[in-house]
A and B are shown apart, each in its own frame.
Chain A
């Protein structure tokens, strides 16, 4: 499964409570949709760290990295590139 699929599935199942993929576009903002509260974003980070073996630094915890599926996918790509 690609990173995008994994992230999409996690957000759909856990915050939108659906397996209907059309409920979430990759560019949808989690903040605007109101699906994540401040603790929710920590849960997403816990998921990313467990799933992709990265560690998210405090200064990286910003909407530019984490507020949509595509931003997360790009962010993980960047993190992995830096690590390799």
Chain B
């Protein structure tokens, strides 16, 4: 991946200063430390910070077409560029580089904005057309590469991360409280909102066109499922073969690079399947990377070793201790640019540091398999709650939840009652489009108990109503399993997993992640499967297991699914906690920022220091409060200092126009 940033005058406006483009691009140095370049004319400026992976010598951006009337900056990878290039050459286009970027300008000449549907890849693209004075912004289908924009004083600003917009914005950053309320429900704001007032995110599978001062947005791709019953024909065995062929090809084209490519190996089914697929596609020795934890409940070392032995890969792991999470937390929030409810992203940042230290800048990961092929506990929970909703007065049916949460002790009447009241939410309305996610969203929303009176007064929207309005009308005709899949694929995955826990933690150390399970051909195939092939009764990722079982050790295929988690509040109860924790949570800081009720926060801190806060809710509240305060500190209080540092890099950027 790389970083892109730019400015376009929406109508006639003063000339764009190249120093501003340089300052914006400078804020993205971590995304592209291998060089930077810019293009500037009377109306537009495009900046690019490069992480060089394909065509190391020639691939410098911005890149133009034959007569320099179309310019592009691009973050990401076009995996089918080899095939596209051959097609474009046959149509008479001339290329001046070997890069994947260059296919974009020629495809645009051929197909206009719709060219994005020809791409197989992960991308955030900004394309400037001098002939029509129009700017096109595009983001990949599942939402791997980030892209943000803002309208400010007659200009459209855009960038890979919000921090790069900040040097060009007129007003100081302010926290968008509605977005915070959404994050405290869904783990991320509902697109296009971001934590920053006035800054929007381009959604997964969306295009934005700026022409004659007008902005239009259009969804060019979305997760779509057939009407219930209208599924792909074929036996499970035949469909498993087809899935295997698709995954093999998705992996093969993701190994295209002019640098070494590694892989993340957690020891779960997805990363193990991926490692086996890479092994099938390439004879090159493969290096894999993983995280280890002290807590045996979180550590997956045994399974990682099983795969290492099975495939004989060259494996490196890094041990993440509690103190490491506290020490890296603040910097992680700078990269994530929003509060987080769990500490889980931080070890992913530590892991990408290991990758970079080993001179790797590309890793393949198994992310996306759970969303695409039906692996998550929330899908099981949904099935069981649907099963229960068919006979809501049954005392037995909810007991099936024990299959899902085997560690829950249901022998006590209180926990039984808890399960029923928690999972029984909306049981009388199983057709509700958001039925599957109500228990999770209700739990997450408990963080809002800590909001200050002032925050509560200023909130006017209902987050759940807001997300409900974004759902496609066809959703009602889909199988309940697919409805849950859609919600997960459109909210948590792009908003949190691929960003806070994905792109941002990888790019912190200039490492690019690639996701074969999120190849749109795999997604489109899987979406047409009968849901029973994704989850067979309560056996998750049924078809993936069938497709991969002959390449994996039995223990991995049969393994009970363990979600990736990191230690939460114990991370901050280390012997010498970093000073920022006390500073950010100090009564005066909480009051000055104004988001939370300081008295409640101090009581929570006291409970934690007594070692009494062990529940899910307390952990989540602590992490969300600390990270919100960190966000305020970094982006409101300290921002000027960070921009100054970035501006110092500005004189190294080179003009390519």
Q: Which of B237-282 contact A (CB under 8 A)?
A: none
Contact A55 B397 (CB under 8 A): no
Q: Is A38 an interface residue (CB 8 A)?
A: yes
Q: Is A28 an interface residue (CB 8 A)?
A: no
Closest to B398 in A: A42
Query: Which of the residues A50, A55, A58 comes within 8 Å of B396, measured between beta carbons?
Result: A58
Q: Which of B495-539 contact A (CB under 8 A)?
A: 532, 537-539
Beyond A55-B390, A58-B391, whether A46 also contacts B396 by CB under 8 A is no
Beyond A38-B399, A39-B400, whether A14 also contacts B539 by CB under 8 A is yes
Contact B391 A46 (CB under 8 A): no
- A39–B380 Cα distance when bound, in Å, is 14
Contact A43 B537 (CB under 8 A): yes
Q: Is A57 an interface residue (CB 8 A)?
A: yes
Contact A46 B538 (CB under 8 A): yes
Measured between C-beta atoms, what is the minimum distance from A52 to chain B in Å? 12
Closest to B384 in A: A46
Closest to B404 in A: A39
Size class of the A contact interface (CB-based, 8 Å): 10 to 19
Q: Which of B380-421 contact A (CB under 8 A)?
A: 383-384, 387, 390-391, 393-397, 399-400, 402-403
Beyond A49-B387, A57-B391, A58-B394, whether A42 also contacts B400 by CB under 8 A is yes
**Which A residues are in CB contact (< 8 Å) with B391?**
55, 57-58
Q: Is A75 an interface residue (CB 8 A)?
A: no
- A36–B46 Cα distance when bound, in Å, is 64
**Which A residues are in CB contact (< 8 Å) with B538?**
43, 46
- A58–B387 Cα distance when bound, in Å, is 13
Indicate with 1 or 0, residue by residue over A31-42, a CB within 8 angstroms of chain B CB atoms.
000000011001
- A55–B392 Cα distance when bound, in Å, is 12
- A57–B392 Cα distance when bound, in Å, is 11
Q: Is A61 an interface residue (CB 8 A)?
A: yes
- A49–B257 Cα distance when bound, in Å, is 49
Closest to B403 in A: A39
Beyond A47-B537, A55-B390, whether A39 also contacts B399 by CB under 8 A is yes
Q: Which of B397, B403, B537, B539 has the most CB of A within 10 A?
A: B537
**Which A residues are in CB contact (< 8 Å) with B394?**
58
Measured between C-beta atoms, what is the minimum distance from A10 to chain B in Å? 7
- A55–B396 Cα distance when bound, in Å, is 14
- A47–B384 Cα distance when bound, in Å, is 11
Contact B396 A42 (CB under 8 A): yes
Q: Which of A38, A42, A58 has the most CB of B within 10 A?
A: A42
Contact A39 B537 (CB under 8 A): no
Contact B387 A46 (CB under 8 A): yes
A-B contacts, 7 listed (Cβ < 8 Å) = A42-B396, A42-B399, A42-B403, A43-B537, A46-B383, A46-B384, A55-B391
Q: Which residues of A are interface residues toward B (Cβ below 8 A)?
A: 10, 14, 38-39, 42-43, 45-47, 49-51, 55, 57-58, 61
Q: Which residues of B are interface residues toward A (Cβ below 8 A)?
A: 383-384, 387, 390-391, 393-397, 399-400, 402-403, 532, 537-539
